[in-house]
Amino acid sequence: MLELKNISIYSNNVSVEDISFQIDQGDFFVIFGPDDSGKTELLNTIMGISPIYSGNILYRQKSINRLSISDRKSIRFVSDDILLQNIRAKDYLKHIAFTYHIKELDFRDSLIKYFNIDTSEYLTNMTYENNKLVAIIGALMTFPEFLILDEPFNFLTTESSRKLLDMLKKFNDKGMTILIATENFEDTDNRCNRLMYINDGKLINKCKIRKDTVSYKSLTITSNDFKHIEKHLGTPFKIDGNKRTYISAYDFDKINTIIKQCNISDNNINIQSATLKDALDFVSQTLSN
């Protein structure tokens, strides 16, 4: 669906150098990396907001600069910026419905209810969280074939982020292609199927996530005897004094069984979802070994 070939960008004091990747129809693709790593510049270039220094971008095998109106309407982009229009949220959404010729508004109304938005408020008077959710509702209600979101979880609470992710996964399961750029995001591992990690405008790694990869857990264990632990969990991902961190694809039941077998106290172990960077690094180590 989307292909970037050797893209280089120089914009807003951020450079992106020779980036290539492809997004297939139906992908849930995440670009992950720290602030000022080049994520936003890549999305802006895809949308024609920032110029390309070199390389080429193809959407459905057409140059991104020569798309038909129909192709452009199949893409919706939600930037990280807040909506600054001095109008009520309901009028903003009404304008989108008019622009995209949407007559059945039940789905729009269900999204408003799902995110608990008071659409009688002016956009400029809303909290940043509700303002961003209105922008996302405006994109979702058009049923785009390709949805691009830049830092969609900025300003959102943990609960709103979870609800948004659940909604995006439902859309993706129905065939919508989704591209997300995010800085701190540890919950895509059970939703996305492909990810790319960039830093300082350079591609660090990219991979397609297998089903046995998405359940990776990070286990940090404090102990003076790791012999039995490593028999089950293998080589540690990180060592810090008498603490060792392991990345494991075992489910929680299996992990708890191992903990009991190794006589590890609950106070000496911390289990959490592995970050995307750790998952990428672990994949790289596994492949290199």
> What pLDDT, on the 0 to 100 scale, is given for residue 113?
94
Q: Which residues pair with 14 in a beta bridge?
A: 11
Residue 279 is predicted with a pLDDT of 61
pLDDT value of residue 154: 86
The tokens of 124 are what?
């400029």
The whole-number pLDDT of residue 288 equals 46
- Selected from 3.40.50.300, 3.40.50.1820, 3.30.2320.80, 1.10.760.10, the CATH number assigned to the domain covering 2-208 reads 3.40.50.300
Query: What's the rounded Cα separation, in Å, for the pair 42 and 52?
Result: 9
Domain range annotation of the chain: 2-208, 217-273
pTM: 0.71
What is the pLDDT at residue 287? 47
Cα–Cα dist 36/20, whole Å? 19
Q: What is the mean pLDDT of each run of 10 residues along the chain (289 residues)?
A: 87 81 88 84 85 85 82 88 91 92 89 94 94 94 92 87 87 89 66 82 72 63 80 82 80 75 77 63 54
pLDDT at 289: 46
- What pLDDT does 218 receive? 77
Q: How many whole angstroms separate alpha carbon 10 and alpha carbon 176? A: 30
The pLDDT score that the predictor gives to residue 275 is 61
CA dist 265 and 58 (Å) reads 54
